[in-house]
Structure 1
């Protein structure tokens, strides 16, 4: 019985050494890696703010208020990016092409 207890303690001790050695090997590998992975989340426009800006632009040209306006979500803030918003004024449904002008989120709306 005593031999089984000694054997179990020896196996646990050896397992602990193996786990520690693996942890050291992984740490050395990670720290010595030449490739650095950088995760960068792209900035996106606030959908509600975009819809408000587009609606204000449309109402500045049309006599009637905008009844319905739908713009896509998750539009990347990058100069030159274009997207389409659909709106309804009176009984007329139309599309407005929107372009991101700069990386600050300035928009240009065209019909």
Structure 2
């Protein structure tokens, strides 16, 4: 009977070590997970950006998106820069857009 008790305790101890090892492995995996890969990036509203670019070139109150071309899926990440093309009559003007913060505030300059 004593041998069976020792064997049972050994099995329980070994099982505890295996469970602790698994828990440690899962914890390490979770801690090393790239959270940016888990969540999609925040994107700017393309229509709003195009309206703002049109207003930059054409003036206040002229926010029609007709003839405005900006890249799709622009990330709202501080420091990102991209160009939009705006048709003004027979000319195409370029507006350089810079994302000022992660909230999507923009700076637009006609070049």
TM-score between both structures, scaled by the size of structure 1: 0.62
- Answer with 1 or 2: which has the greater Rg: 1
Give the length in aligned residue pairs: 83
Is the CA contact (8 Å cut-off) linking 2:82 and 2:98 kept in structure 1? yes
Q: Deviations over 1:11-55 (max 9, x none)?
A: xxxxxxxxxxxxxxxxx9588412113412110101111111111
- Contact 1:69–1:88, Cα closer than 8 Å, also in 2: yes
Q: Which residue of 1 aligns with 2:5?
A: none
Q: 1:66 & 1:74 partners in 2: Cα distance? A: 17
* 1:40-55 correspondence to structure 2 within 5 Å: 40-55=39-54
Q: Structure 1 residues 90 and 67, CA, compared in 2 at 3 Å: closer, same or farther?
A: farther
Q: Which runs of 5+ in 2 are unaligned?
A: 1-20
Which structure 1 segments of 5+ residues have no match? Answer: 1-27
Partner of 1:16: none
1:55-98 CA-partner distances (Å, limit 9, x unpaired): 1222227x9x7750000111111111100101110100121111
Distance 1:68 1:55 in 2: 9
TM-score relative to the length of structure 2: 0.62
Whether the aligned pair in 2 keeps the contact of 1:46 and 1:73 (CA below 8 Å) is no
RMSD: 2.6
**Runs of 4+ residues over 4 Å off in structure 1:** 28-32
